[in-house]
Structure 1
Amino acid sequence: MPRRDISFKTSDGLTLRGWFFSPTSRNGKLPCLVMAHGFTALKEMDLDTFAEHFTSNLPISCLVYDNRNFGDSEGAPRHEIIPSLQQSDYSDAITYGQSLEDVDAEKIGIWGSSYSGGHVLVVGAVDRRVKAVLSQVPLVNGWDNFNRLIRPDFQPGLNQTFQQDRLARMSGKEPGKIPVVHENPLELSSMPSTDSYQFFSMWEKKSNWNNEVTVRSIELLRANDPAHGIHRVSPTPLLMTVAQDDVLTPPDLALEAFSRAREPKQLHIIPGGHFDGYTGFNFERNAGRQTEFLKQTLCS
């Protein structure tokens, strides 16, 4: 599928960079799906596979970009995640997409996975330009997710780390960093699961991904509650994809959030864990259902 490099400015002046995918043959203005990755992940980490699948099977374009402070996009401190800013960047990406001459400005959808799967629930609720929301294996409640992932006996030490990092920043020191993943799940990391280590260590060898994230990002994750207003996404159509064996963003949390969403909404439960929808047989099942949803909504 044709792909070109793009860049756009955020409301606070950063340049975010990514790709714009379109079908091989197109006629007139097409719907556009805005896509960004999850916690610390880069656009190279399978977002191109999803975008190519959508543009191969639908009359749709895809705008894919790296989150601020990561990959090819600008921003500092590097490898810091402030949820509200990433959510705001989605809306700026929508504005940029609407400005393109080959995009139908009235048919914009948003796609997110894991951490950004939560972001799109916020953006879909407050940005009425959005006409379809695809939320894949989303983090829906940071407090509950944090307490599922981090052992209770580790939390006092982590709280002390949060305090020390704030004091260090105030004195002018560089932000503290911790690993995103670690081979030993008992060691400190932001994603202490075996499948997280396998996924990210694989991409570390073949991309520019770095195994670090700021301490503040973890503190802000715990406070992030993206599904709080999930009922406000309606009447925009919502598709939530949940992995039944997900230990990173547990399915019961996602299903509880989905129960509070209003119609029109669709739920797709796929086998496997958090990362199994990105590749192999599960990718076809996952992306195929998302393609059908886009056909029914954005491309109707």
Structure 2
Amino acid sequence: MPRKDIEFKTSDNVILRGWLFTPSSSNGKLPCLVMAHGWSAVKEMDLDTFAEHFVSNLPITCLVYDNRGFGASDTAKDQPRHEIIPSLQMSDYSDAITYAQSLDEVDGTKIGIWGSSYSGGHVLYVGAADKRVKTVLSQMPLINGFENFVRLVRSDFVPGMIQMWEDDRKGRAAGKDPVVIPVVSNDPAGPSALPTPDSYEFFTAWEKKSSWKNEVTLKSVEVMRSNDPSHLIHRLAPTPLLMTVAANDVLTPTDLALEAYSRAREPKQLHIIPGGHFDGYRYRSLSVM
């Protein structure tokens, strides 16, 4: 099906790049699903597969882009690559919507947003705050950064990590380069952003066949701990919500997602799939906008 390269400028003048997928045959303007990946991932890591599935099965277009500082997208002037600031990524979703509304192929009154893992949490906030959004698809979302952090990081490791954050802040203020840590590691005692075996398996497989790099700034982890994208989930309605949750998710724990879903108001739909966090990339969830 047709896919073309696109780029657009964010409200703080960062160029983000991606793809626009359209049906092989279409008449007039179509709804658009705006899609961005999760923690550190790039669009080649199956976002094309998801978009092709959606466009093949629904009369819609899909706008897929790399998050700032990752893949083909730029980052802000004098800011490091591979740094994840959730507030900026959420703002970029809204800028992507604005860009989608400018396209000849898109019906600007029918915009949906899709996110997975970290961005699965982002779309819960964006859908509540940006009422141009007409449907939200949230897959295995990170619901509350603090709760997630205490599940993932051993308590005896926390003081050392807090000291690393303090040292990194002092170093940045003195003009030093930001501290970078691996996204995943096979050393359970070593620092990494996603310290689960299934994370290591998933990302190292993609490292061999994509532009993904196993690094993220230490600040990204510090900021993640205070990120709470679900605090407005009760404000999403009447925008429809489809939440997909893995039954045995240890990276973005299942119970946290289910608790957040219980706070969302109708209309909403819950899709529970078997397996863990990364099994979500083997399934395709559909929603009609």
Q: Which residue of 2 aligns with 1:81?
A: 84
Once residues 36 and 188 of structure 2 are traced to their aligned partners in structure 1, the CA distance between those partners, rounded to angstroms, is 27
Aligned partner of residue 67 in structure 2, secondary structure: coil
What is the Cα deviation at residue 102 of structure 1? 1.0
CA deviations 1:120-142 (Å, max 9, x no partner) are 01100010000000000000000
> What is the aligned counterpart of 2:185 among 179, 182, 199?
182
> What is the aligned counterpart of 1:93 among 93, 96, 100?
96
Are 1:234 and 1:264, in contact at CA under 8 Å, matched by a contact in 2? yes
Are 1:193 and 1:248, in contact at CA under 8 Å, matched by a contact in 2? yes
Q: Which residue of 2 aligns with 1:125?
A: 128
Q: CA RMSD in A?
A: 0.6
Are 1:35 and 1:111, in contact at CA under 8 Å, matched by a contact in 2? yes
Once residues 66 and 51 of structure 1 are traced to their aligned partners in structure 2, the CA distance between those partners, rounded to angstroms, is 14
Q: Which residue of 2 aligns with 1:29?
A: 29
> What is the aligned counterpart of 2:153 among 150, 154, 159?
150
5 Å-filtered alignment, 1:138-287, equals 138-279=141-282, 283=283, 287=284
Is the counterpart of residue 4 in structure 1 residue 4 in structure 2?
yes
What is the Cα deviation at residue 184 of structure 1? 2.5
What is the Cα deviation at residue 188 of structure 1? 1.3
How many equivalent residue pairs?
286
CA deviations 1:168-226 (Å, max 9, x no partner) are 00000011011100012332111011110000001111111110100100000000000
CA deviations 1:247-278 (Å, max 9, x no partner) are 10000000001110111111000000100121
Once residues 273 and 187 of structure 1 are traced to their aligned partners in structure 2, the CA distance between those partners, rounded to angstroms, is 23
Are 1:243 and 1:269, in contact at CA under 8 Å, matched by a contact in 2? yes
Once residues 145 and 57 of structure 2 are traced to their aligned partners in structure 1, the CA distance between those partners, rounded to angstroms, is 35
Percent of aligned positions that are identical: 70
Q: Which residue of 2 aligns with 1:116?
A: 119
Is the counterpart of residue 69 in structure 1 residue 69 in structure 2?
yes
Question: Which runs of 5 or more residues in structure 1 are unaligned?
Answer: none
Question: Which runs of 5 or more residues in structure 2 are unaligned?
Answer: none
Once residues 266 and 61 of structure 1 are traced to their aligned partners in structure 2, the CA distance between those partners, rounded to angstroms, is 22
CA deviations 1:41-90 (Å, max 9, x no partner) are 00000000000000011110000000001010000310000000000000
Aligned partner of residue 166 in structure 1, secondary structure: helix
What is the identity, as a one-letter code, of the residue corresponding to 2:140? V
Once residues 50 and 185 of structure 2 are traced to their aligned partners in structure 1, the CA distance between those partners, rounded to angstroms, is 27
Once residues 187 and 273 of structure 1 are traced to their aligned partners in structure 2, the CA distance between those partners, rounded to angstroms, is 23
Once residues 194 and 120 of structure 1 are traced to their aligned partners in structure 2, the CA distance between those partners, rounded to angstroms, is 26
Moved over 6 A (4+): none
Once residues 66 and 23 of structure 1 are traced to their aligned partners in structure 2, the CA distance between those partners, rounded to angstroms, is 21
CA deviations 1:7-58 (Å, max 9, x no partner) are 0000000000000001100011000000000000000000000000000111
